[in-house]
Amino acid sequence: MRGVGDDERGPCARWARRLDFAFAVALLSAAIPGCGASGPEPAAQVGDLIVVEPALVAPPGGSAALYLRVRNEGGEGDRLIGLSAPIAPHASLHRTRVEAGRATMKAAPEGFPVGPGEVLQLTPGGRHGMLMGIASPPEVGTTVAVTLSFEKAGAVTLQVPVIAHAGPGGGGHEGH
């Protein structure tokens, strides 16, 4: 099987590989920003950091994963150090790791760096934001406010679209 997790390949290769996931296709829509001439609309900007294509996967349980990318267009490194959302009493940065056939979620209180000119990617099966203890799950098609905190650039609040799993509640993608 293909490997998963953080690897050292470039973001384009990584996205291209993940694209054979219908799931990721749903997340990414058509464009692969950073790999082509034009990127998607920024969802938010704080300083030189551009947040693109945020998505919250509609949680069937009380936990939801947040995926997005942050492009650092400045000349200085920064770091995503936290997140919060009014819908969830607990929010944190996590990383999924698979070792010896076990999937483990590791909290990443140190956050995730994003160097100058780099793209930080929160993706399925890798780094992600996690909202836990959600009492009333948001509807697919709505948006949820999420605040991201960066070490240097500060905080920014954005509206994150709630997307479906490829399940019947999800308006099924069927798409390849």
Partner 1 sequence: MAFLSLVGLVCSGCDLTGDAEAAERVIWRGRVLSASLPRPQFTLRDASGGRFVFDEETRGRPTLLFFGYTSCPDVCPMHFGQIAAAMRELEGEFEDVRERVRVVFVGVDAPRDTGERVRSWLDHFDPSFVGLVGSPEELQVAQRAAAVPQATRDPGGSDQAYTVSHASYVLLYTSDDQAHLRYAFDTSSEDWVHDLAHVLRGGWRSS
- Environment class of 107 (CB within 10 Å of its CB; exposed 0-12, middle 13-18, buried 19+): exposed
Dihedral angle of Cα 88, 113, 24, 85, to the nearest 10 degrees: 10
Residue 20 tokens, joined: 């054979």
Q: Minimal distance in Å, beta carbon 60 to partner 1?
A: 4
Strand partners, 69: 52, 121
Pick the binder of partner 1 from 128, 146, 148, 153 (CB under 8 A). Answer: 128
Q: Minimal distance in Å, beta carbon 48 to partner 1?
A: 29
Pick the binder of partner 1 from 10, 60, 117, 171 (CB under 8 A). Answer: 60
Q: Minimal distance in Å, beta carbon 124 to partner 1?
A: 6
Under rule CB under 8 A, residue 80 binds partner 1: no
Residue 96 tokens, joined: 């999924």
Q: Minimal distance in Å, beta carbon 44 to partner 1?
A: 22
Pairing of strands 49-57, 42-46: antiparallel
Which region among 35-43, 78-86, 99-107, 148-156 touches partner 1 (by CB under 8 A)?
99-107
